[in-house]
Amino acid sequence: MDKIAVIPLRAGSKRLPKKNYKSFNSRTLVEIARDKCLAANIFEKVIISSDDPFFEELVNCKEVEFIKRSDHLADDNATTDMVIDFFFEELPFCESILWVNSVSPLQSIQDIKNCGVRLHDPNVDCVMAINALKQHCSISNKPINFNPNSPFEKTQDLEPIQRYIYSCMGWRRETYVKHRNQGFKGLFPGNMALVEVSTLAGMLIKYEEDFILCSKIEETFKERKINKARVRFNKQELAGAQKFFTNLV
């Protein structure tokens, strides 16, 4: 049975209209997610799914497919479990589904691969990408990982808070479908693994300022890679020139 990556997206977005259509440094968010899933090289299929058939144009090879979702699975009332139910019905041949979030464009290929590989562990039924925060945290003014009556702990000594970041989350068919058929109302049945991923993977695009910030970060990383490549090339040129003049002598 196949291991599937699914990139779900909606045509509409209230907080950032048309975010999945916008150019993010020459590519759309969907194209970035698609390319990284393919580069991870652990999936038999990469599925793009939307209520807008426009995104079918992003199918660029035999490993990529498009599945159209009905309008009721793309409106504000659609929940993640409803969408996952739909995917397992539409993809009866798949062993597992890794949901790869297009609004996390800075997650790395390795982030996706780590989540997918962990999902394929026979002792794991579902996964969630997390960031581990070693910071003093409270809920409703109540400390949850430190004692306010003790000396103020160093952050490196704190028990980390495991923050769900949703860049990737996944399920194994057998466990998920079985529990849902038995009336399970939650989203993560069975043995759940929390996979720590990069801090950048936790930067989700919800608003215009998120889009601008993430695009600038990606642009900066690209420039640094180019500059490093130039330095490496110049060093090779210099070494070649030194060898040439040495031979002349």
184-190 long-range contacts (CB < 8 A, ≥24 apart) are: 185/81, 186/81, 187/80, 187/81, 187/84, 188/125, 188/126, 188/128, 189/125, 189/126, 190/125, 190/126
For 149-194, how does the pLDDT look when each residue is reduced to its tens digit (9 = 90+)?
999 999 999 999 999 999 999 999 999 999 999 999 999 999 999 9
pLDDT at 240 over 60: no
* Residue 3 main-chain phi, psi, to 5 deg: -100, 120
pLDDT at 244 over 50: no
pLDDT at 133 over 50: yes
What is the rounded average pLDDT for all residues in the chain?
A: 91
pLDDT at 246 over 60: no
For 225-236, how does the pLDDT look when each residue is reduced to its tens digit (9 = 90+)?
767 666 665 555
Q: Higher pLDDT residue, 76 or 33?
A: 33
Pull the structure tokens for residue 136.
């003093």
For 155-164, how does the pLDDT look when each residue is reduced to its tens digit (9 = 90+)?
999 999 999 9
**Looking at the chain, how many residues does it have?**
249
pLDDT at 237 over 70: no
pLDDT value for 42: 97
For the chain, give every domain's residue range: 2-130+163-206, 208-249
For 3-38, how does the pLDDT look when each residue is reduced to its tens digit (9 = 90+)?
999 999 988 888 899 999 999 999 999 999 999 999
Over residues 62-74, the mean pLDDT reads 93
115-119 long-range contacts (CB < 8 A, ≥24 apart) are: 115/168, 115/169, 115/170, 115/195, 115/197, 116/3, 116/5, 116/40, 116/42, 116/43, 116/168, 116/170, 117/42, 118/193, 118/195, 119/3, 119/170, 119/171, 119/172, 119/193
Q: Residue 45 in contact with residue 97, Cβ under 8 Å?
A: no
Domain 2-130+163-206 is of which CATH architecture?
A: Alpha-Beta Complex (3.90)
